[in-house]
A and B are shown apart, each in its own frame.
Chain A
Amino acid sequence: GAVVSQHPSRVICKSGTSVKIECRSLDFQATTMFWYRQFPKQSLMLMATSNEGSKATYEQGVEKDKFLINHASLTLSTLTVTSAHPEDSSFYICSATTGGNEQFFGPGTRLTVL
């Protein structure tokens, strides 16, 4: 089946530092990748849509200068949380799709900003 990996699975950083999270589709080429964040006991909130070779499309209320997305290839997208603050602590999940409604999710990255 379609496998999506994320790295790292967990990161703890100091306030003010930047953190990069990688999302890879391991056995398929993804036309589009999505980035979500999920707070405890809440559902997934779409942050941005990422297409290879083009600028990401951000959802309303998501700061594009704070959450930098780079989609380098059909199998890799990265999310960089710049100047992270404690309120950015969350579970970040990526997903990939080949164009239909089905999404294949990564295992998530738990970010804790001290």
Chain B
Amino acid sequence: QKEVEQDPGPLSVPEGAIVSLNCTYSNSAFQYFMWYRQYSRKGPELLMYTYSSGNKEDGRFTAQVDKSSKYISLFIRDSQPSDSATYLCAMSAMSTNAGKAPFGDGTTLTVKP
């Protein structure tokens, strides 16, 4: 069993829709949760970085962590065609564990105009 599971999609939505992207994990020690966006043929870029349970909002993006369920979500409001990309979750048990944080396989999102 993988440490991090992520539905690969693909997910296709119309412009303006609310998008929900999810990951589940098995290691209860994970406390730091990251969401990355990766455009085709590009490196990932960090979108959201959260610690422990709760919500974090940044513009149209909201990251949600439910540690009791070992489940994290990324919500995108008013989705735009420019949001079309692959979204990767990653998580870590330590604050200084970059690189060792396992990634999900990524969910490919297409927002149609």
Contacts and interface: CB of A to CB of B under 8 A. Distances in A.
Nearest to B108: A41
B96 A99 contact: yes
A93 B103 CA distance: 14
A107 to B, nearest CB: 5
A113 interface: no
A101 B96 contact: yes
Interface in A95-114: 95, 97, 99-108, 110
Given A105-B43, A108-B43, A110-B41, A34 B99 contact: yes
A105 B45 CA distance: 6
B95 interface: yes
Contacts, number: 63
Interface of A: 4, 6, 32, 34, 41-44, 46, 49, 91, 93, 95, 97, 99-108, 110
Given A6-B43, A43-B106, A106-B43, 18 more contacts: A4-B43, A32-B98, A32-B99, A43-B105, A46-B99, A49-B99, A93-B44, A99-B98, A100-B96, A101-B34, A101-B95, A101-B96, A102-B34, A102-B46, A103-B46, A105-B43, A107-B42, A107-B43
